[in-house]
Structure 1
């Protein structure tokens, strides 16, 4: 028996040596803030070291005691940051040969290993239902925290919050800030319909619900917070809510006679006059609906920065919209200390942390890179394990930025293939090479030479590992590429979905486009409502003779900027809140407005709005 246990111990040590040479599985995209699971230790009193547990396993009188000691050794090695050694032990253990008690610790150790490698679905699957099986608070806390991390990674923020609340009951250092960080991500659709019975969780539920209610009626937010304070005087979030109420009350002390003025900074003359007027039209349209604000427009082309700033100091407006041009936005961010809510209508190249001095400001831009990012997310969620997307783009700085953002945002199994063309004449060859037709032709030629006079099939075969094709170019480029793609796909092969951007949707094909039949594209929702037959949109376009859909997108942006200004404090505090605007579904995170676009398709000479995501592959990931 001694020799048998000695053999087991030597085998474990050998496995340690092997695993030291292996690499950790590839990690997925990292969120901006993720708790470090490696710092989640058990902190047990009189805890043994891993060497002690291994010695105990070596000296164990039977398999039950040996396996139990090895499980504890694996857990202890994780506390000692010896993750690969811990994995070596776990890989040798068979859970079917463990006692119920040892199996609990085995599942916890496996869950911690998966969390260390950010394999969150496996964490969720391994640890679900485990906290109730522990009596020690340290094990309950750690298991609940790991489950909360995993739920957060799956965007199940309410479930994550519930587990965090429970975990902090077993913690010596509870963190209300960590709870709010999760609670602020909870969307209205995730919030349970009924208030929870648990008092602490009920307080979070009410606070989240108040934010979503206030999105419909921002003026009621102060009253909602007052009611919350009265209902939950001892809640962990009370200090945070008290600071909000104090801050809001100070803001409300502004002179009521000027509190209805919105100052708008736009280029109303000069090179960018058309863009400025389009935004102005949208702002006027929105304010005319409510009639609760007075608009003062300031022409940024006519007035210097100092004159604009002097004008604002004189007006003392309730809020500011603009400026529009990137250079002007950068100048305002770097030089202005105006403590007034402001919606910048562009983003700056530098880190937006420069603007954090004025936490009342947000950045709202219609940048094309956003479309590339959403296309990547849209296509990767439907990409199969055996296929990859193909990106066909012009070799220009603008297109290359789109391609890079697409690649950075990709979360599918296989990395995208990218093919760039330099000029119009290169498009056909780029399509044929990307879809594998060049290689197919060469193989056919080789077969014909080998076959001599024997007749062989001369039909080229396109690649079958392409899940979707993304075309980030303009309408002219897409019109040329789409036919090349259609004729290059083998007639006996499954059709490959083709995706584009709003650049492929112009006034000339506002109601549909037979030449682009089947093309799926992202767009400002206002422009594809009712299949493009939006009465108000068409009336506006008729009134602005010569204008295009690009100006209509800016008008939608101006319209939405008023709604954002009204809801800025709420959306700044809670990224989980959303506003359904003309330009997209809007949310705010880190002072930047995220804009979720609408997907539509050209089908049979008309435009069809896609209510559900199309499947770009046979199997979802």
Structure 2
């Protein structure tokens, strides 16, 4: 790694040599189309000469064409040495008109490599998409295709990323199946082309992904699908992966077989707090488990009170049941204890999340939590999608640990590179709300300006209408219903009457039992929540039955019931969903997928509108330009 002064010195040296080269009066200035690029035949990613050597050759070049060829090679050498700023200094001074047709592709590759270093993925695709196939050298073909694949992956266009990566593998010295699968496993069903590709290698990956998506409806069919895949693609690169997935479990010993008089009934063990302080929460999850397993056949469910005994006793009891899966525990301290010493070989859905990343690296265990922070993250993503312009967002919340966690989650997911970072405003007490809103929307500053103008104008009449900020695209209120109900009127009156209304977003904390069918006081508020409480809210038979059964319970407990219902579906699909993050299950608690052993939930958005709740209209999403 270069020291700072050495770094600057080399960059200046590159620019100095370049300036000297381009200003030499005694050199030929042949048209690039007529000149011969003698360096093109030898260009390599593993240059024997150093960048300094190539700078000297550029200085001694007979004409500008040869000079530019040498400078491109110098930039290439700098990039190979990870001296990106020096390479960028050279590239910024090159004149495309002085570069031959042969060297154009190397020039554009160098610019794409710099764009990838800066994580400007759209620029990588722009530079390489139409030149990748022009490289005859294997190393350059592989590099350009891998850069394209990486750029598409970073833009979450996984199918196109797979296409480029499969193409890159054809030219690689050694094929890397794990790299290809790391892309293929993220392809969602909606992203998969409807028609099988003609290319055999790509068709094998397409079919493998397609079979996993088909098996989501009937998880037991996956083995049959994989066997069919083996027959169709016996020599495919992915065959080794499929062989591993189809490896049978260890066979029981003869003594174990003799001990088993008859195959036991499939059992699901559910570990919940059914007594103590969190009894209601445990019962709510249990309601969901019972509702889901009641729709299934030949499955026995055993509930265990996590508060009635220690973990050793619970594990012994569960081991004796030989369950097909374990759901729970629910409380975070219990989850931490269980994840530190799990029962190996049995799929388990923990109903909370812990901070220990080491524990979140299992193919049989996942963490499923109804995290408020995930709602704030989705709100940031929703606003980015809805308003991709240069405006920013405003977050107004109570100054407390909960509010600050929501703010941290929101800002960490703010991905709008064109916009300023979100403005954050905290209030301490109810009395501070009006002042906080007026200050956040710029009314306080506007009032001061008006006062100053009136004083300067004397008796001259001036416009006294305050003007709110115009650089706010949306407002997010992550607080509870009471806070949102108090803040909304202040926001309405603080936005200038001649300005466009500012959309206001909120979390599921705004949606409670008393307003689940609508709330005229919150007209216009857009909020996120689990599908079970939004879709067909007035005609949802299961929800209506649950609310009648659990009279007096709130929607926070109903969300736990949805979680319990979905946890059973996750247990059935745990292995393949853990293997493939692109698999999505539409559950009562959201669209679910598993990434790094954590269940990710995509909520839906609804609007309080004219005394009722309606699904929010989705913004037009162009998606990937390659689909």
Q: Distance in 2 between matches of 1:576 and 1:424?
A: 44
Please say if 1:545 is aligned against 2:548: no
**Corresponding residue of 1:12:** 15
Match of 1:388 among 389, 392, 395: 392
Deviation at 1:72, TM superposition (A): 2.1
Segments ≥4 residues shifted beyond 6 Å:
253-256
1:531 touches 1:609 (CA, 8 Å); kept in 2? no
Question: 1:215 maps to what in 2?
Answer: 216
Deviation sequence 1:436-484 (CA, Å, 0-9, x none) = 1111111111111111111211111111111111101000000000111
1:326-345 aligned within 5 A: 326-345=332-351
Counterpart selection for 1:294 from 294, 300, 309: 300
- Partners of 1:614 and 1:608 lie apart in 2 by 18
Q: Give the corresponding residue for 1:53.
A: 54
Whether the 8 Å CA contact 1:384–1:467 is kept in 2: the answer is no
Deviation at 1:10, TM superposition (A): 7.5
* Equivalent residue for 1:346, pick from 347, 352, 359: 352
SS at match of 2:469: coil
Asked if 1:421 is matched to 2:422, the reply is: no
- Give the deviation of 1:279 after TM superposition: 0.9
Summarize the Cα distance change of 1:310–1:10 in structure 2 as closer, same or farther, 3 Å threshold: closer
**Inter-CA distance 533–86: structure 2 relative to 1 (3 Å threshold):** same
SS of the aligned residue for 2:453 comes to: helix
8 A Cα contact 2:45 2:80, kept in partner:
no
Q: Could you tell me whether the CA contact under 8 Å between 1:263 and 1:320 is conserved in 2?
A: yes
Secondary structure of the 1:124 match is helix
Of residues 487, 493, 497 in structure 2, which corresponds to 1:487? 493
Residues 519, 64 of structure 1: alpha-carbon distance in 2 compared, 3 angstrom cutoff: same
* 1:198 to partner: Cα distance: 2.0
1:514: which partner in 2?
520
Whole-Å separation in 2 of the counterparts to 1:182 and 1:250: 33
Distance 1:104 1:517, change over 3 A: same
- Corresponding residue for residue 104 of structure 1: 105
Structure 2 segments unaligned to the other structure (5+ residues):
1-11, 20-42, 622-627
Query: What residue number does 1:24 align with?
Result: none
Which whole-Å deviations, capped at 9, do the CAs of 1:537-567 have from their partners, x for residues lacking one?
Answer: 1222012111111111111111100100000
- Alignment deviations for residues 222-272 of structure 1 (CA, whole Å, 9 cap, x no partner): 111122222222222222221111155769x99773351001111122221
Task: Name the counterpart of 1:523.
Answer: 529
Asked if 1:598 is matched to 2:586, the reply is no
Q: Of residues 364, 368, 388 in structure 1, which corresponds to 2:368? A: 364
Q: Which residues of 2 match residues 103-502 of structure 1 at below 5 A?
A: 103-246=104-247, 257-258=263-264, 260-348=266-354, 350-354=355-359, 356=361, 359-412=363-416, 413-502=419-508
CA distance in 2: counterparts of 1:424 and 1:14, whole angstroms = 66
> Against the structure 1 CA distance between its residues 138 and 336, is the aligned structure 2 distance closer, same or farther, given a 3 Å change threshold?
closer
Q: CA deviation at 1:14?
A: 6.9
2:18/2:59 contact within 8 Å kept: no
Q: Which runs of 5+ in 1 are unaligned?
A: 1-8, 17-41, 616-621
Distance 1:249 1:232 in 2: 27
Report the Cα distance in structure 1 between the residues aligned to 2:285 and 2:102, rounded to whole angstroms. 66
State the Cα distance separating 1:98 from its structure 2 match: 2.2
> Contact 1:321 / 1:561 at 8 angstroms: preserved in 2?
yes
**Secondary structure of the equivalent of 1:189?**
helix
Query: Alpha carbons of 1:249 and 1:292: their partners in 2 closer, same or farther (altered >3 Å)?
Result: farther
Inter-partner Cα distance in structure 1 for 2:55 and 2:293: 73
Residue 189 of structure 2: SS of its match in structure 1? coil
Offset of 1:207 from its aligned partner? 1.1
| SS of residue in 1 equivalent to 2:501 | coil
In the TM superposition, residue 384 of structure 1 has moved relative to its aligned partner by 4.6
Counterpart of 1:618? none
What is the aligned partner in structure 2 of residue 36 from structure 1?
A: none
Which residue does the alignment assign to 1:80? 81
Match of 1:564 among 570, 584, 588: 570
Query: Cα distance 1:44–1:551, how it changes in 2: closer, same or farther (>3 A)?
Result: closer
- Number of the residue aligned with 1:6: none
Query: CA, structure 1 residues 386+44, in 2 after alignment: closer, same or farther (shift >3 Å)?
Result: closer
The match for 1:39 is: none
Cα distance in structure 2, aligned partners of 1:343 and 1:580: 17
Task: Tell me which moved more, 484-493 or 71-80.
Answer: 71-80
Equivalent pair of 1:531/1:606 in contact (CA under 8 Å) = no
**Partners of 2:390 and 2:234 in 1: how far apart?**
55
CA distance in 1, matches of 2:241, 2:216: 19
Instruction: Answer whether contact 2:274 2:305 (CA < 8 A) is retained.
Output: yes
2:376 aligns to what SS in structure 1?
Answer: helix
Q: Give the corresponding residue for 2:593.
A: 587
The answer as to whether partners of 1:259 and 1:317 remain within 8 angstroms in 2 is no
- Structure 1 window deviating more from structure 2 (605-614 vs 548-557): it is 605-614
2:275 and 2:516 map into 1 onto residues whose CA distance is: 28
Tell me how far apart the structure 2 counterparts of residues 15 and 545 of structure 1 sit (CA, whole Å): 80
Contact 1:258 1:317 in 2 (8 A): no
- The answer to whether the Cα contact below 8 Å between 1:334 and 1:355 also exists between their aligned partners in 2 is no
CA shift for structure 1 position 355:
5.0
3-state SS of 1:381 partner: helix
- 1:109 deviates by 0.8
Give the Cα–Cα distance (whole angstroms) in 1 for the partners of residues 565 and 46 of structure 2: 61
Tell me the secondary structure at the aligned position of residue 150 of structure 1.
Answer: helix
Quote the offset at 1:58 in angstroms: 2.2
**Conserved? CA contact 2:315–2:343, under 8 Å:** no
Q: 1:514 to 1:333 in 2, by over 3 A?
A: same
The C-alpha deviation readout for 1:21-79, integer Å capped at 9, x for no partner, is xxxxxxxxxxxxxxxxxxxxx96566433233323322222222222222222222211
RMSD of aligned C-alpha atoms?
2.2
For 1:387 and 1:148, how far apart are their aligned partners in 2?
Answer: 31
Q: Is the CA contact 2:373–2:405 (under 8 Å) kept in the aligned structure 1?
A: yes
Residue 398 to residue 15, structure 1, CA distance change in 2 (3 Å): farther
Task: Name the TM-score, length of structure 2 as normaliser.
Answer: 0.89
Q: For residues 313 and 249 of structure 1, do their structure 2 counterparts lie closer, same or farther at Cα, with a shift above 3 Å needed?
A: closer
Match of 1:71 in 2: 72
Which range is displaced more, 307-316 or 330-339?
Answer: 330-339
CA distance in 1 between counterparts of 2:283 and 2:44 reads 63
Aligned partner of 2:36 in structure 1 is: none
User: 2:558 matched to 1:555?
Assistant: no
With normalisation by structure 1, the TM-score equals: 0.89
Residue 493 of structure 1 aligns to a residue whose secondary structure is: coil
How far 1:15 moved relative to its partner? 7.5
